Amino acid sequence: MKKNIFLLMALTFTISASAQDGAWQNLFDGKNLKGWTRIGGHAPFAVKDGAIVGTTKTGEASSFLATAVQYGDFILELELKADKGVNSGIQLRSHDSKKEPVYGYQFEIDGRNTGFIYEEQRRGWIYPPSANAGAQNAFVEGEWNKVRIEAVGNSIRTWINGKAVTNLWDDTESKGFIALQVHAIGTDKAHEGQKVQFKNIRICTQDVEKYRTATTAQEINAAVNTLSPDEQKEGWKLLWDGKTTKGWRGAKLDAFPAKGWTIDNGVLKVQKSGGAESANGGDIVTTKPYKNFILKVDFKITDGANSGIKYFVDPALNKGEGSAIGCEFQILDDLRHPDAKLGVKGNRRLGSVYDLIPAPEDKPFHAGVFNTAMVVVMGNHVEHWLNGVKIIEYERNNQLWNALVAYSKYKDWANFGNAAEGNILLQDHGDDVWFKNVKIKELP
């Protein structure tokens, strides 16, 4: 059955391409490199047997062969072949400068990572392989593979051999050149002389919206504090607008805290104040409670930082010192903060239900950059996700949950974690922590 579905997808891909022949231009005539310009290093590019062949070379910086023309909206198709172990890429809507030789979106070419979207010289992975693990077998090393890339408006989608790989929504670059990359290998003689080859390169730049194809890849929205059209259709809402304090207040205040929090360039920041719990600006909570929902929050921490995202919060429970009371998605530097070694069996590590249920020690956290926390609540069923990977799931309002609470720091709070609904909280724990892309989808 799976084989038949794959063949049907491949057939649809082929029919779609052939039906568009009149709208296409060749970017490479199979004979010479007219219309292409070298940027960066000097790893060799040559034409052989109707293909552009790039070859790795020690001592050379990453080398690019770029189109002379800049492209905005387009559909690009080509055939790709790479030796085993080659690291390469196809730049999309990219640019060059003295400071950053080439920067912009990149269709990655690197074994099982091929087809996913990396941003050269900037954010790194913006559509990582973990977002669509089932597509990691789409590319076949050492053989010719068919590639399709659609860049239309803020949407970038990719396919390999008819299999959907990525579905990215982002507003960083709207126009730029297309380039073929041979990645630098430093002094690694073992990888010298490896080849990556491109042929039958063609592009459609007219009526591209008309020729777009449906995708089965899950969308990732990398545009800051925005909702994509798909997200809006699915019922997502911004819980923080990226500009104001609308919808939020201090957990123990009627208004947003006058100090301790800043908004700068679309990022909400907790200011450092010595590491004490809710002792500066204090926690902030939503002005309304939520019941069943999917919550997403991007967060970044400094070395040794402590913070958290809480749900089922009742701001009236704790009017004294310390944080407001609720279930917590722990945010912590596990390597440097002492709290990671406290509690029971690691239940205070990053991603844990704080002081109750431990997150695995091995989890997809990336230091120094934004990570995505997700909390899913469906009645008594709750899940914690980190960067697209489910790390915890549990049931509340039962004997096991109540027993966990009874042996935690929450034992003195009656019926802790069992409320039908509650506010959502971002914690001030006295360390530099940044939040953005705070989104919620309410469920029935």
Q: Which two tokens stand for residue 158?
A: 């990719």
CB under 8 A, 24+ apart: contacts of 26-32: 26/201, 26/202, 27/67, 27/178, 27/201, 27/202, 27/203, 28/52, 28/198, 28/199, 28/201, 30/199
Cβ atoms within 10 Å of 85's Cβ, excluding its own: 12
Q: Is 238 in a helix, a strand, or coil?
A: strand
H or E element at residue 112: none
Q: Which two tokens stand for residue 383?
A: 């899940």
Distance CA 350, CA 331 (A): 5
All structural domains of the chain, each given as residue ranges with its CATH number in brackets, are 2-221 (2.60.120.560), 229-442 (2.60.120.560)
Q: Assign 3-state DSSP to the chain and report helix, strand, coil percentages, each to 5.
A: 10, 40, 50
Residue 17 carries which side chain, given as an amino acid letter? A
Q: What is the pLDDT of residues 100-151, one digit of tens each?
A: 789 999 999 999 999 999 999 888 899 999 899 999 999 999 999 999 999 9
- At 437 the pLDDT is 98
H or E element at residue 245: none
Locate tokens 């607008």: which residue?
Answer: 241
- Taking phi over 0 as left and psi of -120 to 50 as alpha, with beta for the rest, 59 belongs to left
Q: Which two tokens stand for residue 183?
A: 């990645």
Locate tokens 């930082």: which residue?
Answer: 305
Q: What is the pLDDT of residues 167-224, one digit of tens each?
A: 999 999 999 999 999 999 999 998 999 999 999 999 999 999 999 999 999 999 999 9
Distance CA 284, CA 423 (A): 10
Distance CA 339, CA 355 (A): 10
Which among 391, 392, 390, 394 is positioned nearest to 378, based on CA atoms? 394
Q: Which residues pair with 197 in a beta bridge?
A: 53, 81
Which among 363, 261, 282 is positioned nearest to 324, based on CA atoms? 282
CB 337 within 8 A of CB 430: no
Which among 429, 163, 122, 399 is positioned nearest to 273, based on CA atoms? 429
Local confidence band at 23 (pLDDT 50, 70, 90 cut-offs): confident
Distance CA 101, CA 422 (A): 50
CB 268 within 8 A of CB 427: no
Distance CA 290, CA 307 (A): 21
Decide if pLDDT at 4 tops 70: no
Q: Which two tokens stand for residue 35?
A: 């219309």
Strand spans (E) along 73-194: 74-82, 88-95, 103-109, 117-120, 124-127, 145-152, 155-160, 163-169, 177-182
Q: Count H helices, E strands: the chain?
A: 4, 29
Q: What is the pLDDT of residues 65-87, one digit of tens each?
A: 999 999 999 999 999 999 999 99
- At 274 the pLDDT is 78
CB 330 within 8 A of CB 336: no
Sheet holding 103-109, edge to edge: 36-40, 63-67, 177-182, 88-95, 103-109, 117-120, 124-127
Read off the DSSP letter of residue 431.
S
Q: pLDDT averaged over the chain?
A: 93
Local confidence band at 275 (pLDDT 50, 70, 90 cut-offs): confident
Phi, psi of 130 (to 5 degrees): -65, -20
Distances (CA, A) of 165 to 114, 124, 129, 149, 312: 9, 17, 9, 10, 36
- At 21 the pLDDT is 63
Q: Which residues pair with 158 in a beta bridge?
A: 149, 166
Local confidence band at 97 (pLDDT 50, 70, 90 cut-offs): confident
Decide if pLDDT at 276 tops 80: no
CB 285 within 8 A of CB 425: yes
Q: Which two tokens stand for residue 203?
A: 């592009």
Q: What is the pLDDT of residues 410-425, one digit of tens each?
A: 999 999 999 999 999 9
Q: In this prediction, what percent of the chain has a pLDDT beyond 70?
A: 95
Q: Is 302 in a helix, a strand, or coil?
A: coil
H or E element at residue 405: helix 399-406
- At 18 the pLDDT is 43
